[in-house]
Each structure stands twice: as C-alpha cells, then as structure tokens.
Amino acid sequence: MRIVLLATDAYGGHGGIALYNRDLIEALASEHEVIVVPRIVPHPVEVIPAGVTFHRQAAHHELAYVQTVARAARQRADLVICGHVNLLPVACAISRHPLLMVFGIEAWKPMGSRLSRALLHRCRAVVSISGLTRDRFLAWSRYAGPTHLLPNAIHLDRYAIRPKRAELVERYGLAGKRVLLTVGRLAGAERYKGFDEVMEVLPDLPRDVVYLIAGGGSDATRLQRRSVELGVSERVLFTGGFAETDKTDLYNLADVYVMPSRGEGFGFVLLEAMACGLPVLASKHDGGREAVREGKLGLLVDPANPAEIRAAVRELLDRGEKRVPPGLEHFSFARFRERVIEMMAQVTA
C-alpha cells in the first residue's frame, strides 16, 4: 500500500509530535511504502528508514509545499494521513477520505479553520493518542465516524537505569539530596505541567528533597519568583534547555518523577521516566492517566488537591528502589507497530 503522510514535522523535529510521527512512519514502513510531506523541518534530519520518501523541500516555502503535495497526489496514494487538523483542507484536496491524527490540547476545543471543521465528516477515521483526547475532540467536533486509539511508543532499549552521573550531580548541587523531576517546556501561556503544584507542596516535604525542573521556556522567571514566594528557592533547580543525548542521564538523576498536570494529551515523558526506572506520579485529569495505565504503573493524583500530591510524593519517595515496571511493555515499539498494522487493515478495509 502507498501511504502519504501530511505531517507538521517528523525528521528534524524535536517535539513530541515529531517523535510520534517518526515512530508512526517507521511502523508503517515495515509493511507499506510511505511518502512524508512535512510542513516544517527545523533541525538537521536524521537517517530516514528504508521505504520512506521524506520530501524535506516541502518545508522550504509555501509554493514548494503546494508543489510537493501536488506531486504526492499524482503518485495515487491508497491512503492519505493528515497529521494535523489545520492540514485537513490540503488532505481533502488530494483524498476523498483521509485519516486524521489528533494528539493533545490542540484537539480539546474547537480547532482549525471553519473549513477544516466542516471537512471533519470526510475523514474515514480519527486516530487519537489517548482516550481523553478522543473524548474531548468528539465532544466539540460532532464528528461521528470511527475512532482508533494509538498511544505513544517507547523504545525501551534507548533508556536504562544508571547511577547518577557525578558531573551532573555536581552541576545542580544534588549530592545527598532526593530529587523530584519534571521534564517539560516551561510555557508561560499554558502552565499545565504542574510545576506550581509541586513547588507548593515542597515546604511540607523533608528538607533533603529538591525539585529539578528540566526544560527551557518563557515561564522560568515566573516560576523562580514563585519559588521565592514559597520560601523554597534553594530547593528548586532549573536545568534550562538540555541536550537530547543527556536525557537518560537526566532522568537517572531523579528519585521520583512528578507531573500533576492538566494539559497532557498523553504524557510521553512519563513513559521515559518509567523506562529509566523512576516511580512516577501522574494526573487523574489528563492523558497522564492513560500513560500510567489508570494507576497500574504509577500513582494518580488530582492536580487540584495539594494533600493528594503530598501523600503520593511521600509514598513514592519511601519506595526507594528503581525498577522498570513490567507493564510498561504495553507501550513498547513492538506493540505500537502491531497496533499500527492492525489499524491500517481496519481503516482501509
């Protein structure tokens, strides 16, 4: 089967959607021919797997994009996958019934242009990263066709439990400390990762517990100010942006991963943390709930209840040992690929 994927980004992208798309492409390419038309390619491109055509020139300018899409259309694809609702008019121009992907908060309220929304009924199916995103999308969109669930994949072989790297322990002053960690963009407009909520319970946790916030963004100054207000500025540490290659070491610096969030479509970082053996705390009220399989793999808290966050953090700190939960296998790339193949059979039947 020949599949055209209209993606926002994939290779050469650093975000969560780029990562998800790369996994999707790899899984599709094991059985199909895949042609990828990206909207943006912000960074140097990694190795493209065999069987995949990646039209990086499409990201150069608008005209190039239109030309590339037109060329892809002439290749008579069996299936067009639309990687973002904003691209739906393009997808519908080259396919009667494209397949639409929805991920996170962008799908939680009316999104895209009026034209995009009007075209939703043309989709042969909608694929969602989580049940929560699916339900929130269905609530506003009045889309009534079939839906499929395709949660994130984790390449377990790329992560490991390791000792804390001495150089990083020294850089952040973590010697003799127990470390809570959240990884995420510090986006001022959203504030949904739960950084504030964790800082607010810090005064009630033992003195040797510090909070490491890993990620860069415009909200850092406000968060620093808040840590001063709460009297915990010495116990809140910011890494700023970090190199992708340091990621596993960064997770291994921590003793507990905490994310009492409100805006995660799925919460891939929770899978990464678990793959590094960290006990995790996730939210009852966003996609994190599904990343920890309704509480099977980690503890769930109501992000609006500081007492619940406090009790869960204490319990996880007491656990002490690191281990990769066996149930994490559920999200392995092998299982992801099986889901993709089965889904393709269903949507093209």
Partner 1 sequence: MLPPHGGGRTRTTHMCGIAAFFAYRSSAEPVRREELTAITEHMRARGPDGGGTWISDDGRVGLGSRRLAIIDLSDQGAQPMFDVGGELAIVFNGEIYNHQELRAALERGGARFHSQTDTEVLLHLYRRDGEDMLPLLRGMYAFAIWDSRARRLFVARDPYGIKPIYYADDGGTIRFASAVKALLAGGAISRDVDPAGVAGFFLTGSVPEPFSIRKSIRAVEAGTSLLVDDGHGRREARTHHSVASVFRQAERQRVFAGLTEPATFLRERVEESVVHHLVSDVPVGVFLSSGIDSSALTAMAARATRRPIHTFTLAFREFRGRAGDEAPDAERFARQLETLHTTRTVSREEFQADLPRIVDAMDQPTIDGVNTWFVSKAVREAGLKVALSGLGGDELFGSYPSFRNVPRLVRIAGVPIVARVARLVRKHPKAAFIGRLALTYSGAYLLQRGLFLPAELPTILGSEMAEEGLRRLDIIDVVDRAMTPDPMSEFGRVASLEASLYMRNQLLRDTDWASMAHSVEVRTPLVDAALLRQIAPLLVQDRSAGKETFAAELPPWLRNRPKTGFFVPMNEWLDLPDDGTTTRMRSWARRVFDSFGATRF
The span of 25-33, 40-48, 78-86, 302-310 binding partner 1 (CB under 8 A) equals: 302-310
Q: Does 325 bind partner 1 (CB under 8 A)?
A: no
Residue of 19, 73, 93, 105 interacting with partner 1 (CB under 8 A): 105
Q: Does 228 bind partner 1 (CB under 8 A)?
A: no
- Which of 157, 166, 161 is CA-nearest to residue 321? 161
The span of 22-30, 35-43, 132-140, 159-167 binding partner 1 (CB under 8 A) equals: 132-140
What is the Cα–Cα distance from 55 to 64, expressed in whole angstroms? 10
What is the Cα–Cα distance from 307 to 205, expressed in whole angstroms? 11
- Which of 156, 108, 32 is CA-nearest to residue 287? 108
What is the Cα–Cα distance from 247 to 333, expressed in whole angstroms? 19
Give the nearer residue to partner 1 in terms of CB position, either 226 or 335: 226
Residue of 78, 234, 315, 329 interacting with partner 1 (CB under 8 A): 315
Min CB(26)–partner 1 separation in Å: 31
Residue of 54, 192, 195, 257 interacting with partner 1 (CB under 8 A): 192
Eight-class DSSP state of 293: G
Q: Does 300 bind partner 1 (CB under 8 A)?
A: yes
Give the nearer residue to partner 1 in terms of CB position, either 21 or 130: 130
Total residues at interface with partner 1 (CB under 8 A): 29
What would you report as the CA-atom Rg of the chain, rounded to the nearest whole angstrom?
21
Q: Does 295 bind partner 1 (CB under 8 A)?
A: yes
Residue 179 host element (H or E):
strand 178-183
Min CB(14)–partner 1 separation in Å: 23
Q: Kindly state the tokens that stand for 38.
A: 């990206």
Ramachandran quadrant class, 104 (left: phi over 0; alpha: psi -120 to 50; beta: rest): beta
Instruction: Give the residue carrying structure tokens 């990562």.
Output: 19
Residue of 26, 255, 290, 308 interacting with partner 1 (CB under 8 A): 308
Burial class (CB in 10 A: 0-12, 13-18, 19+), 74: exposed
Q: Does 345 bind partner 1 (CB under 8 A)?
A: no
Residues that bind partner 1 (CB under 8 A): 105, 108-110, 135-136, 139-140, 189-192, 262-263, 285, 294-295, 299-300, 302, 304-308, 311-312, 315, 318
